[in-house]
Amino acid sequence: MPDTVLILLLAPLAGLLADALLQIVLARVVPGGAHLRTQFLSFGFGLVITVLVLAGLLWQYPFARGDRAGYLLLHVIVYVCFGFCFFNMINANVSSLRVRMLKEYLSHDPKPLPDAIIFQRYPAREILQARIARLRSGRQIYISSGRYYVRRGVVTLIGRFFAALRRLLLRA
């Protein structure tokens, strides 16, 4: 039976591989600004692959119906965890800017790095304009009367979910 459990782990791994491969293809085919949409699409494709591989594998073994459902749920959760990590790895560009800045500060240690140099290398206005352009092209915000407004949709729901989760877990 231990080999069976190891074989069942192939399903979430196959799903993650499908997620990554479709993400690579979509990143090259879909025009810029649809990053989140392509990530959800590739995640969903990986989930379907995970379920299909699991369904094929689970029927090969003499499990009870409840065990099959439990294995299916467990391995779907494993895939979702893998997919969440992959999603965050792709979106690490925000934190990568902080890492690059820290490396620059450390490279000048013990002498302080002047603010003027950091602001010259990382102009906040250009970074902000790029983020706004991405939000507009992704149709997550719109402009009216010189002000930006959030569009209702999946991103808004995700933002509210994580804000509620933060309040629940961190009491912040």
In a domain, 149, yes or no: no
Give the model's pLDDT for residue 73: 92
In a domain, 148, yes or no: no
Give the model's pLDDT for residue 6: 72
> Token pair for residue 138?
């992704």
Domain count within the chain: 1
Model pTM above 0.85 = no
Separation of alpha carbons 123 and 131, rounded Å:
13
In a domain, 127, yes or no: no
Give the model's pLDDT for residue 64: 87
- 50 Cβ partners below 8 Å, 6+ apart? 11, 12, 14, 15, 75, 76, 79
In a domain, 163, yes or no: no
Each residue's pLDDT, cut to its tens digit, for the chain (172 residues) gives 557 667 778 899 999 999 999 988 888 887 665 677 788 899 999 999 999 999 888 888 888 889 888 988 999 999 999 999 888 887 765 567 777 777 887 888 788 788 888 888 878 888 788 888 888 887 788 888 989 888 887 777 887 887 887 777 766 5
Range of the domain at 68: 2-91
Give the model's pLDDT for residue 126: 82
Separation of alpha carbons 72 and 78, rounded Å:
10
Give the model's pLDDT for residue 2: 53
In a domain, 135, yes or no: no
Give the model's pLDDT for residue 89: 80
In a domain, 155, yes or no: no
Give the model's pLDDT for residue 94: 53
Give the model's pLDDT for residue 18: 95
In a domain, 34, yes or no: yes
Give the model's pLDDT for residue 42: 92
Can you give the length of the chain in residues? 172
Give the model's pLDDT for residue 123: 80
Neighbours of 83 (CB within 10 A): 23
In a domain, 171, yes or no: no
